[in-house]
Structures are given as structure tokens and as C-alpha cells.
Structure 1
């Protein structure tokens, strides 16, 4: 595996990955997945031999980097790619002056994954696109 992870302006590649993972696999309604925040967000794209295999986006809000839309194609799961995407997103967040915290909304089943990366869950469970989530944060 020759995975490259970097920030990208190729929003279409990120959207295609999100369509596969969220809309097709998880049955998230397109209206809930596609929003008007992508143009202003930072995007992280993972490619394997040039093929897009994972992505994440970061919305910067004052001192907080909100990481979201984290997805990895099914054939790449369990390889460490998801953790590498999150580490790349955290590095990108740290590159912005004044950003001192990362936040994300984790699907409930993925909380242990994010805890291993240093995130701490807080607040109640809530539904996002009909899927149980919980907010998590990490001090940068």
C-alpha cells in the first residue's frame, strides 16, 4: 500500500468518497450529507496509488477545528488509514494560529477509535441523520 495523505482542493474526490460511504453504505439522506460548508472547509484526501480511498474535512471556527465527514472505503478499513487521516487533520488544524481544540461528532460505535487518538467524549448521545452520535474533543 502506497497511501498518500494531504490537504486537497479536489472536493469532487472527497464528495465521491462520502457518497459511497455515507449515502450508499450508511443510507444517510443526500440532503443531510451534502451541505454548503465544503467550499470553505479544509479537506484531507488519502490516495492509494492515485486512487482516492479516504477523506475528512475541517471547519475552522474561532479556536476550534471541527473535524467531520471522516470516511474510508470498505476495502481500506482496518489498515490504520482512519487513524492516519485523523492525525493528518489534527496536524492541519495545528497549522492554523489560534486553533487550540479539535472537536468532532462521532458515530457511537466509533467512540473507542477516537478515544485511542486522545479524544474525550462529552455531552449526551444525539441523532444525526438518524445515527447515534456523541461529541468528542481534544486539546491541541
Structure 2
């Protein structure tokens, strides 16, 4: 998988289409969750894109400290269903952490994790904080870098 890091204005219309399509496939269709994915925040995000054979198969969006949380943030962590056994989720998370350190000069990161992925995020140095909560009908928990 090849990983690139782009600001919103650097995305091609085809990349933007494919990112939104992947997010919709997983977060709306696969997880059967009706929510407003296009939230007006993509223009402020740093986009971490994983491509294989020219197709976007993994993605996150990152924000500077103070945008979502006091800490920098990683969100919309997604890997195409047919690519999940290839460890691309780990690669895109490490690339996201590196991008935050380089672009925002911080290693303090917070995210809103789906609770079934706690161990995955713990393997990347995140620890749960506070109580769990429902976000769009799915159990989540806040996690921060330790």
C-alpha cells in the first residue's frame, strides 16, 4: 500500500469521490448507520490516503489541536472490507500519527473509537479515558495517546 498525505485542496476530484465512497461503504452501508458523513470539516483536515493498485483502500483524516479536541485528532479511520486482513489499518494509523507529529508538532492525539476496536488502538499507544458513549447509535469511547 502506498500512503500519501494531502490537504483538502490537494485532493483530486477523483480522490475525493473515492474517499467519500469508501467512507459511505463502511460507515453508512456496512455498519448500517445513517449519519451525515459530509460534515463540512474535510476542508480543514489533513487526509491520509492508502492506495493499492491505484484504488483507495485505507484512509483517515487528521485535525490540529483545538479543532475537535484540545489534542490533535484522528477520525474516519477506515479500511476497505476486503483489505482488512492485510494490516493496512496499522499502517494507516502509524502514518497518521507521523503526519500529526510532522504537520502539527505534537504527539498528543485523541480519537473517538468504536469500542470493539479498543485493542487495535491500544496497539498504537492509545488508552481509553472516561465512560463509553453512543455516537450515531454505535458504542464509542474516547482514547488518547499515553
TM-score of the two chains, using structure 1 as the length reference: 0.90
Indicate the residue corresponding to 2:100 in structure 1.
93
SS at match of 2:64: strand
Structure 2 distance, partners of 1:127, 1:30, is: 13
Q: Distance in 2 between matches of 1:123 and 1:11?
A: 34
Query: Deviation above 3 Å: which 4+ runs of structure 1?
Result: none
Aligned-residue CA RMSD in angstroms? Answer: 1.4
User: Runs of 5+ in structure 1 lacking a partner?
Assistant: none
> 2: CA distance between counterparts of 1:100 and 1:83?
17
Provide structure 2 residue ranges, at least 5 long, that are not aligned to the other structure.
none
What TM-score does the superposition give when structure 2 sets the normalisation length? 0.87
Quote the offset at 1:65 in angstroms: 1.7
Please list the CA deviations of residues 108-136 of structure 1 after superposition, one character each: whole Å capped at 9, or x if unmatched: 10000111111111011001110000010
1:54 Cα shift?
1.1
| Aligned-partner Cα distance in 2 for 1:100–1:85 | 16
Aligned residue-pair number: 136
1:68 to 60, 72, 75: 75
Find the aligned partners of 1:91 and 1:40 in 2 and give their Cα distance.
18
